Amino acid sequence: MENRLWMALRRDTAIQFLKGVGPKLGDLFSRKGLKTIQDLLEFYPRSYEDRRAARQISSLRAGDVVSLKAQVVTVHSVPMGRSSRKMVDVVVQDPTGRIHCKFFRVPYRGYFERFTPFKEVRVVGKVLEYRGRLEFHHPDLRDIEPDEEVQDDLVPLYTEIEGLASSKIHKLVKLAFAQLKPADWGDEVFPEWLRKTYDVIPRWDALKRIHHPESDKAREYLDMKSAAHRRLIFEEFFWLELYLAARRTGFKKEQGPLIDPPGEGAKRLRASLPFQLTAAQERAFEDIRRDLASGSPMHRLVQGDVGSGKTLVCFLAAVTAAESGYQSTLMAPTEILAEQHFKNARKFLEPLGLRLALLTGSTRAAERKALLAELAAGNIDLLIGTHALIEDEVKFARLGLVIVDEQHRFGVEQRGELKNKGVSPHFLVMTATPIPRTLAMTVYGDLDVSVIDELPPGRSPIQTRVIFDSKKAQALDFMMQQLAKGRQAYIVYPLVEESEKIDLKDAVSEFEALKARFPAVRFDLLHGKMKPAEKDAVMERFRAGETQVLVSTTVIEVGVDVPNANIMLIEHAERFGLSQLHQLRGRVGRGEFKSFCIMILGYAVSEEARQRTEFMERTTDGFKIAEFDLELRGPGEFLGTRQSGLAGFKMANLVRDLAILQEAREAAFEVLHHDPQLKHRDHQALRNELIHTHGPTAVP
Ligand code: ADP
Ligand code: MG
């Protein structure tokens, strides 16, 4: 419609009312989740193009970020290794030479259709060197636009929306700014003192500059380090940190069960152990004991590398709670692990008089009913289980302590579910995934942290070797030598069943082949599709030493503890992430025997996979591995997609922006320190925002 009524724009105005947009284009945006003017302005440029960096192919050097005009020569789809994945290779040329543009994922369907031979294109990206040759990986590849010559030196690049070009998006953004006044935008949320102290510019300025970059500051924009970037990144972190800081402040105000017994239980447990607790275990327990006796509920994370002995630390806590007449519960991520904890509890806690029970998804109905009645009557001191513990019917008489084991894949909000079963019970999270500092500040930013930074004495570091599939026979020989000495072994596979598409040996067929090849060896098989009772029986036989070699998928990834097993072969190690390899490897090296991990690579392995596994060869330090893993994969992958509060960042990057995260955290704690309930006039906007995103209970 030509004669649309002029209307004042505000940040919540729908995009389609922007002059020059209309319903059709509005629809396109809205399908991408961009509905309002605010959404549009917060659709930040992915990068910038420095037109002054225009170059010819012959003059390129590795590491340069460049822009060049070229002509398409060919577009090929190339299979990657033996997997079903494909890489798209676009070759372009200019009068001075040729270069390959490689795409390991396709931006969207139909993306490559317009890049036909002879087409003039612009390529913007970072030049890489791979096997002695220069190339681009995922460059910005697009049509040369007619008005390109008249534009500025520094141009924002937006992710294309269903073929809507970056330049078109930029035009619409400019239009929006032309029709908006700062006053239509709403108030600045940060008080002036905060902006001064933490050196952040007003939001409106930041938004404007992010879309209209200053070309004399090209370097800063290209590095995402301009003042505008700083403000927007700071703000994203700040909201998360304010929420976490408020939670923490809130926890401290609550009343928790007072658990402060003489400590006879813990003393007797210590005395019954065949070994001494390490100093680090004692320190972690001391932190916990102090929390339990403090009057307000504990919210503590115990971080300890694989094999550092976290289980005993939580048993000490449970026995202390029982001594004060409180019930405890321990939740594990898998049935195998819950079973294992239950067995250990029987061994260590039952002799001290604790009444134990196990509840999992495969607990029979009648048994479950009886168990729940006992629990509600207060006749169970420690209930161990899986997710089944969260169900509504599970009711405690006097729940004092909730322990969640190996639960690194849960978000801030999900963690609370089990906690709601008692009146503000004490809450303890145990994790063996060493968490890089940035993530600890975000995911666990509301918890106190104890670190078990010491392994029990007598453990020698696991020796790790990366080999190619062709050397596997030698690896098996070596395994046989260990078996001959009475040890046990794991062989781990990435998949359960043979898939026609992906040519990988799988656990089931390899298990058969191994049995045929080594008839004198006792093999057993464990995988995720087996019934819980079957899995349990397999684990029991392995634990008892009846089985010599356990052929398994990743179901043994976390927690499984069989100290006599000292060698692990990991097939197709290139398919696993670093943290996963670290967890898997942690199944050996748990006893007095020298331990070995052999990572076997398939034939067609990417450079990156080689790097990853070779890194594992060099280090056993879980923290270093985690940092490297985070760098390689980014936080979403590292933690799994369920991580709340992390997926939401539009601009902030946990690896790149660590320093800003730290400052935003400081700022959030400073605000709450001076004004715990956000009552001050200057903090109203902060208060409103917190309530708006997390509900009224978010303010302490
Ligand atoms: P994780 O921290 O990986 O959960 P576990 O709690 O499963 O580790 O303990 C690993 C192994 O070390 C177990 O077999 C446990 O009995 C043993 N262990 C724990 N603490 C000590 C200690 N202080 N000295 C010797 N062995 C210990
Ligand atoms: Mg454990």
92-101 exposure pattern, b = at least 16 Cβ within 10 A, e = fewer: bebeeeebbb
Single-letter amino acid, residue 586: G
Question: Taking CA 467 as the corner, what is the angle to CA 462 and CA 468, rounded to the nearest 5 degrees?
Answer: 155
> How much is the pLDDT for 51?
76
Q: Report whether residue 139 contacts ligand 1, using a CB cutoff of 6 Å.
A: no
308 CA from centroid of ligand 2 (Å): 8
| Contact criterion met (CB below 8 Å) for 42 and 11 | no
618 CA from centroid of ligand 1 (Å): 24
Q: Report whether residue 432 contacts ligand 1, using a CB cutoff of 6 Å.
A: yes
Q: Which ligand is nearest to the CA of 459?
A: 1
> How much is the pLDDT for 642?
42
Q: What is the CATH topology of the domain spanning 1-46+166-183? A: DNA polymerase; domain 1 (1.10.150)
Cα separation, 196 vs 224, in Å, equals 21
Q: Report whether residue 405 contacts ligand 1, using a CB cutoff of 6 Å.
A: no
| Contact criterion met (CB below 8 Å) for 371 and 359 | yes
The pLDDT-based confidence of 369 (bands split at 50, 70, 90) is very high
| Contact criterion met (CB below 8 Å) for 605 and 576 | no
In the three-class reduction of DSSP (H, G, I as helix; E, B as strand; rest coil), residue 505 is classed as coil
310 CA from centroid of ligand 1 (Å): 7
Whether 4 shows a pLDDT value over 50: the answer reads no
Protein residue with its CA nearest to atom 23 in ligand 1 = 277
> How much is the pLDDT for 490?
96
**Between 13 and 460, the higher pLDDT residue:** 13
310 CA from centroid of ligand 2 (Å): 6
Q: Which atom of ligand 1 is nearest to the CA of 405?
A: 4
Q: Report whether residue 309 contacts ligand 1, using a CB cutoff of 6 Å.
A: yes
Least-confidence region, from 181-185, 340-344, 528-532: 181-185
> Pick from 666, 699, 697, 670: which is nearest to 685 by CA?
699
The residue extents of the domains of the chain are 1-46+166-183, 47-157, 203-253+679-698, 264-452, 462-619
> How much is the pLDDT for 147?
59
Whether 89 shows a pLDDT value over 80: the answer reads yes
DSSP state, residue 106:
-
304 CA from centroid of ligand 2 (Å): 9
Pocket mutation for ligand 1, best pick of 273, 275, 277, 453 (most atoms within 8 Å of C-beta): 275
Once rounded to an integer, what is the mean pLDDT over residues 201-208?
93
Task: Say what the alpha-carbon torsion angle 335, 338, 343, 349 is, to the nearest 10 degrees.
Answer: -160
Q: Strand runs (DSSP E) across 95-205, as ranges?
A: 97-103, 120-130, 133-137, 140-143, 154-157
Whether 412 shows a pLDDT value over 70: the answer reads no
Cα separation, 243 vs 697, in Å, equals 11
Q: Which ligand is nearest to the CA of 303?
A: 1
Q: Which atom of ligand 1 is nearest to the CA of 277?
A: 23
In the three-class reduction of DSSP (H, G, I as helix; E, B as strand; rest coil), residue 463 is classed as strand
* pLDDT above 70 as % of the chain: 89
Q: Report whether residue 312 contacts ligand 1, using a CB cutoff of 6 Å.
A: yes
Q: Report whether residue 590 contacts ligand 1, using a CB cutoff of 6 Å.
A: yes
Q: Report whether residue 441 contacts ligand 1, using a CB cutoff of 6 Å.
A: no
507 CA from centroid of ligand 1 (Å): 29
> Pick from 570, 567, 550, 587: which is nearest to 481 by CA?
567
Q: Which two tokens stand for residue 307?
A: 């094999």
Q: Which ligand is nearest to the CA of 315?
A: 1
Q: Which two tokens stand for residue 243?
A: 């929420």
Whether 503 shows a pLDDT value over 60: the answer reads no
Whether 501 shows a pLDDT value over 50: the answer reads no
CA of 678: how far to CAs of 176, 193, 443, 689, in Å? Answer: 33, 15, 23, 11
Once rounded to an integer, what is the mean pLDDT over residues 571-597?
88
311 CA from centroid of ligand 1 (Å): 7
> How much is the pLDDT for 330?
96
Pocket mutation for ligand 1, best pick of 272, 311, 339, 408 (most atoms within 8 Å of C-beta): 311
Whether 3 shows a pLDDT value over 50: the answer reads no
Q: What is the CATH number of domain 264-452?
A: 3.40.50.300
In the three-class reduction of DSSP (H, G, I as helix; E, B as strand; rest coil), residue 41 is classed as helix
254 CA from centroid of ligand 2 (Å): 29
> Pick from 113, 116, 73: which is nearest to 91 by CA?
73
Q: Which ligand is nearest to the CA of 332?
A: 2
- Tokens 């250990």, located at residue: 344
Q: Which of 165-174, 215-224, 483-492 has the highest mean pLDDT?
A: 483-492
User: Which residues, 6 or more positions from 149, have their beta carbon under 8 angstroms from its beta carbon?
Assistant: none
What is the CA 650 to chain-centroid distance, rounded? Answer: 17
The pLDDT tens digits for 48-74 are 888 777 788 998 988 888 888 899 999
Q: Report whether residue 277 contacts ligand 1, using a CB cutoff of 6 Å.
A: yes
Protein residue with its CA nearest to atom 20 in ligand 1 = 309
Question: Taking CA 535 as the corner, what is the angle to CA 533 and CA 537, rounded to the nearest 5 degrees?
Answer: 70
Q: Which two tokens stand for residue 169?
A: 């998006």
> How much is the pLDDT for 645?
47
DSSP state, residue 574:
G
Protein residue with its CA nearest to atom 26 in ligand 1 = 456
Cα separation, 525 vs 514, in Å, equals 11
Q: Report whether residue 213 contacts ligand 1, using a CB cutoff of 6 Å.
A: no
Q: Which ligand is nearest to the CA of 622?
A: 1
Q: Which atom of ligand 1 is nearest to the CA of 310?
A: 2
Whether 241 shows a pLDDT value over 50: the answer reads yes
Cα separation, 237 vs 370, in Å, equals 48
Whether 82 shows a pLDDT value over 70: the answer reads no
> How much is the pLDDT for 496?
53
Q: What is the CATH topology of the domain spanning 462-619? A: Rossmann fold (3.40.50)
Cα separation, 107 vs 157, in Å, equals 15
625 CA from centroid of ligand 1 (Å): 21
Cα separation, 487 vs 221, in Å, equals 58
Domain 47-157 has CATH 2.40.50.140: yes
> How much is the pLDDT for 644?
43
Other Cβ atoms less than 10 A from the Cβ of 392: the count is 6
Rounded to the nearest integer, the mean pLDDT of the chain is 86
450 CA from centroid of ligand 1 (Å): 17
> Pick from 358, 276, 350: which is nearest to 315 by CA?
350
Once rounded to an integer, what is the mean pLDDT over residues 571-588?
87
- Tokens 């800003």, located at residue: 660
Task: Say what the alpha-carbon torsion angle 266, 271, 272, 276 is, to the nearest 10 degrees.
Answer: 100
Pocket mutation for ligand 1, best pick of 312, 404, 539 (most atoms within 8 Å of C-beta): 312
Q: Do domains 264-452 and 462-619 have the same CATH topology?
A: yes
The pLDDT-based confidence of 413 (bands split at 50, 70, 90) is low
Q: Report whether residue 563 contacts ligand 1, using a CB cutoff of 6 Å.
A: yes
Q: Which atom of ligand 1 is nearest to the CA of 344?
A: 16
559 CA from centroid of ligand 2 (Å): 4
| Contact criterion met (CB below 8 Å) for 406 and 432 | yes
Backbone angles phi, psi at 284, to 5 degrees: -60, -45
Q: Which ligand is nearest to the CA of 454?
A: 1
Cα separation, 590 vs 568, in Å, equals 12
Q: Which two tokens stand for residue 173?
A: 């953004």
Protein residue with its CA nearest to atom 19 in ligand 1 = 309
Q: Which ligand is nearest to the CA of 302?
A: 1
Q: Which atom of ligand 1 is nearest to the CA of 561?
A: 7
Once rounded to an integer, what is the mean pLDDT over residues 241-263?
89
Q: Report whether residue 583 contacts ligand 1, using a CB cutoff of 6 Å.
A: no
The pLDDT tens digits for 159-191 are 878 778 788 899 899 988 888 877 777 778 899
Single-letter amino acid, residue 600: I
658 CA from centroid of ligand 2 (Å): 29
The pLDDT tens digits for 121-136 are 989 888 988 888 899 9
Cα separation, 336 vs 81, in Å, equals 35
Q: Which two tokens stand for residue 45?
A: 């440029």
Q: Which atom of ligand 1 is nearest to the CA of 306?
A: 3
312 CA from centroid of ligand 2 (Å): 9
